Structure 1
Amino acid sequence: MKVKQKNLPKISIITPSYNQGNYLTETIDSVISQGYANYELIIIDAGSTDETLEVIRKYESWITYWVSEPDRGQSHAIQKGLEVATGDIINWLNSDDLLAPGAFNALAREFDLERYDVLCGNCDYFLNDLDHLDLRSERMGLGATVGDTFIRRKINQPSTFFKASVIKQLGIDEQFHFTMDLDLWYRYLLRAGQSRIVLSDTLLTYFRLHESSKTVALSPRFEGDVRKVFYNVLYSLNQPDALLAFMRRAVPDADFKPTRYQVGIPVEEISSFIRVNAWAALIYYNEIGDTASARESIKVARRYGQPFNLTLTRQFIKHYLLPRRLISWMGKRTAYCL
């Protein structure tokens, strides 16, 4: 069912691009063939040397704004697009991905901008072309609390559309080369919680997998960026040094500069995330024999709801009772020897 063309929200699509001219035609076609009157397509190219500029010029009359110049990477390109976007609803669509038919009409129909900040729809994956479609129906995953959502780490950026005022205020953090979407999502959730998110069952986008895509070619480097996001979350929640040091050890970037996120949700909403990472830190400190940091991790886990079960009891005995008895025993032995 198409939406009446009166008072349609304006939808802005930002396409960061670099040397993927062989896919760009399909991406542009998927946007301009939506049959939707009120949209804009913004292409931010990083100075491609392949056929990208030929494709852009071919479709120039359908492109609201474009530029081709060196930039500092994908995150910088998306941020440049945000600065010129004028829509009510905004998302970025990579130059090798596609909008599903009817996506814009579905957004106009389902995204109540008075009630919601974010609409999360479905996304299917495909290998190289749509003849090799993988019907995954991926969508942003929401848990019972923000902390549960963080733990699940189920993210799907292509089909997640933001209210313009919200995403413009949040912006894109350039320090993230691979997980700028995860960072954006977590920052939003920490600030606003989950009450202004609508989940849609509509297929909105197709995500292309191919040998040169970052998801495929550089997947081992994603985890370092993920750990930066996790560190920033714990840092913003004022967690102790033991927990921060545990997370920092998995960040490969020596020049990483932590960012303090705005927190607008009650601690109960995020406690499960803190608790899970405190327990992981405890296991790590057990392995390396750092008793002081292990004790600090136990305290954090208990503070944020770790149940007092047999496993926790063993950890208390190991890190509190046994060390005292050992010290006492060593003192007696020393006195006897003297």
Structure 2
Amino acid sequence: MPETPAISVILPVYNSAAYLAATMESILSQTFGNFELIVINDGSTDNSASIIRSFTDSRIRYLEQPNSGLVATLNRGIAEARGQYLARMDGDDICLPQRFAKQAAWLDAHPQTAVVGCFVTFINEKGEETGAWPEDRANYTAAQIRQALPYLNCMAHPGIMARTAAMRQYGYNPAQRHIEDYDLWLRMQANGEVMEKVPEALLLYRVHGTSITSHHLKKKNVFYKHFRCKWRFLKKRLSNGKFNSFDRAVLGGMLKDLATAMAKSLKPAK
């Protein structure tokens, strides 16, 4: 492994045994090879550890810890990162072969960009493609993403690559759970950080019965979660004496979330 990798890949693992081998193989098979893969086992109780240890690639840095939650795990990964760029992955998704090459090239060519995402294609438990995410495909330029984020999260978290320095500056907020990425995007956008996407599908995003997307968000009233996220964000901004046009748009999005959440709560269950 080179002395200083260009990219640090953060892969948090918690009971991901069913899909973990395929995920790691997709990372280690990237056409861009100058990276370190930081695998952090967050107290898994399945056989994730044995799967991780079955890989002998010298680019892997394997860390174990008692179960601490995703935010703490991600922040540890940021602290451990040695690369100029930092890529995210989840233990059940699949990287398409040129993802790292294309995102690193984008950041090289656009020094003003802090975060670059990509389009994602949904897959199921069997790895079968099940469709695309309309909001993802509709918002890929910096201007589109900035306009959309006060109202919806249009960035697929496991598909991003960012400048490590920017991730260290902002970090993940321990007060946020399950939508820690949305809070991070709002804080970055409020300060004018540029976020955009390589407008190509470079990640297969797995949705299954135990995934966060399926279990924690879709089965609950996600609009209350978004309302509380934006409330915390705006409260912190105001306490620091800050309130700009982006914050104003977030306020509008927050009120819309509250109205939608209340309407969904009042709607009779079928």
Name the counterpart of 2:182: 182
Q: 1:37 aligns with which of 33, 38, 46?
A: 33
Query: Is 1:122–2:99 an aligned residue pair?
Result: no
Query: Once the two structures are superposed, what CA deviation does each residue of 1:281-324 show, in whole Å capped at 9, x if it has no partner?
Result: 8999xxxxxxxxxxxxxxxxxxxxxxxxxxxxxxxxxxxxxxxx
Name the counterpart of 2:66: 70
Query: Is 1:199–2:197 an aligned residue pair?
Result: yes
Tell me, what secondary structure is at the counterpart of 1:86? coil
Amino acid at match of 2:32: Y
Distance across 2 between alignment mates of 1:276 and 1:162: 25
Query: Once the two structures are superposed, what CA deviation does each residue of 1:221-254 show, in whole Å capped at 9, x if it has no partner?
Result: 654442332112321343xxxxxxxxxxxxxxxx
Question: Any unmatched runs of 5+ in structure 1?
Answer: 1-7, 239-259, 285-338
Distance across 2 between alignment mates of 1:147 and 1:235: 21
State the 1:102 CA deviation.
Answer: 0.8
Tell me, what secondary structure is at the counterpart of 1:118? strand
Tell me, what secondary structure is at the counterpart of 1:27? helix
Distance across 1 between alignment mates of 2:174 and 2:43: 18
Q: What is the number of residues matched between the two proteins?
A: 252
Name the counterpart of 2:211: 213
User: How big is the alpha-carbon RMSD for the aligned residues of Structure 1 and Structure 2?
Assistant: 3.0
State the 1:136 CA deviation.
Answer: 3.8
Name the counterpart of 1:320: none
Query: Is 1:14–2:5 an aligned residue pair?
Result: no
Amino acid at match of 1:125: F
State the 1:143 CA deviation.
Answer: 5.4
Name the counterpart of 1:268: 245
Name the counterpart of 1:155: 155
State the 1:15 CA deviation.
Answer: 0.8
Query: Once the two structures are superposed, what CA deviation does each residue of 1:105-126 show, in whole Å capped at 9, x if it has no partner?
Result: 1123222352321112111111
Tell me, what secondary structure is at the counterpart of 1:53? helix
Segment drifting more, 214-223 vs 119-128: 214-223
Amino acid at match of 2:128: D
Contact 1:123 1:158 in 2 (8 A): no
Length-normalised TM-score, structure 2: 0.81
Name the counterpart of 2:267: none
Q: Determine which structure has the larger strand proportion and give its number.
A: 2
Query: Once the two structures are superposed, what CA deviation does each residue of 1:177-196 show, in whole Å capped at 9, x if it has no partner?
Result: 20011011111001125xx3
Name the counterpart of 1:300: none
Q: Larger relative CO (CA 8 A, sep 6+): 1 or 2?
A: 2
Distance across 2 between alignment mates of 1:104 and 1:283: 38
Q: 1:134 aligns with which of 128, 131, 134?
A: 131
> Cα 1:22–1:270, aligned 2, differ >3 Å: closer, same or farther?
same
Distance across 2 between alignment mates of 1:76 and 1:59: 25
State the 1:275 CA deviation.
Answer: 4.3
Segment drifting more, 274-283 vs 132-141: 274-283
Distance across 1 between alignment mates of 2:205 and 2:211: 10
State the 1:148 CA deviation.
Answer: 4.8
> Cα 1:51–1:277, aligned 2, differ >3 Å: closer, same or farther?
closer
Distance across 1 between alignment mates of 2:131 and 2:260: 38
Distance across 1 between alignment mates of 2:215 and 2:24: 24
> Cα 1:77–1:213, aligned 2, differ >3 Å: closer, same or farther?
same
Contact 2:121 2:131 in 1 (8 A): yes
> Cα 1:127–1:191, aligned 2, differ >3 Å: closer, same or farther?
same
Q: 2:46 aligns with which of 47, 50, 53?
A: 50
Distance across 2 between alignment mates of 1:33 and 1:59: 12
Name the counterpart of 1:255: none
> Cα 1:140–1:169, aligned 2, differ >3 Å: closer, same or farther?
farther
Segment drifting more, 199-208 vs 134-143: 134-143
Contact 1:120 1:139 in 2 (8 A): no
Contact 1:90 1:163 in 2 (8 A): yes
